Amino acid sequence: MQRKFTRAIFPGTFDPLTNGHLDVIERGRKLFDEFIIAVGTSPIKNPLFKPQERVEMIAEIVKDMPRVSVESFDGLMVEYAIKKQADVILRGMRSLTDVQYEFKLAMTNRAVAGLETVFVMTSAEYGFTSSTLIREVAALGGDISNLVPKIVYDRLKKP
């Protein structure tokens, strides 16, 4: 029996992309035939970088990863996933705190669009990181160089 082609979407705001996100990307991309990093906008978040800036940074970071692409989207992620004919949504989980939220989100995505969700636990060294925390520490002048890719670090240091 031949294996079915599988297209996965890894959605998020990625504002900014962290090493935890990159860890999930590195491991998740090996599980699927095509892997789309979907950079979304959130009307309730106060973004540090514009969506196009995030897409450009992430595209530079993943440029040598076969079968990985980066796109931005507006609106509901499930509508974007349907438009892209995605088979699965990949979500990273850091800790037990994420489980309840992610479980509800996965159940909603299945109920609304029939989309399955695959969870990848981030590596232990990144279990505490979040984009929000990174933005706060960076804004206060803290050293986040070991928590984000170099291109992100350099952009965060620009005045």
Choose the catalytic residue: 29, 54, 91, 94: 94
Domain-embedded: residue 31: yes
* Residue 154 burial (CB count, 10 A): 12
100 pLDDT band (50/70/90 cuts)? confident
Establish if 138 belongs to a structural domain: yes
Q: Is residue 118 part of a domain?
A: yes
| Burial of 141 per CB tally in 10 Å (0-12, 13-18, 19+) | exposed
Provide the pLDDT for residue 70.
Answer: 98
Query: What per-residue confidence (pLDDT) applies to 41?
Result: 87
Statement: residue 44 has pLDDT above 80: no
Place of tokens 């906008």: 41
Please report the pLDDT score of residue 159 as a whole number. 66
Residue 69, domain member (yes or no): yes
The answer to the question of residue 1 being in a domain is no
CATH code of 54's domain = 3.40.50.620
Count the domains in the chain: 1
Q: Which of 21, 29, 54, 135 is catalytic?
A: 21
- Tell me the HSE value of 71 on the side-chain side, using a 13 A CA sphere: 14
User: Mean per-residue pLDDT for 83-107?
Assistant: 91
Rounded average pLDDT over 78-82:
95
Whether residue 2 lies inside any domain: the answer is: no
Q: What value does the mean pLDDT take over residues 77-81?
A: 94
Provide the mean pLDDT of the chain: 92
- Catalytic residue (choose from 30, 45, 67, 83): 45
Instruction: Judge whether 68 lies within some domain.
Output: yes
Residue 63 lies in a domain: yes
Question: Residue range 65-78: average pLDDT?
Answer: 95
In this prediction, residues 90-97 reach a mean pLDDT of 88
The residue-averaged pLDDT of 30-59 equals: 91
Nearest to 120 by CA among 80, 148, 93, 96: 93
User: Which one of the listed residues 29, 131, 135, 155 is annotated catalytic?
Assistant: 131
Residue 21 annotated to the active site: yes
pLDDT digits (tens, 9 = 90+) for 126-145: 888 889 899 999 989 999 99
Task: Write out the residue range of the structural domain in which residue 114 sits.
Answer: 7-157
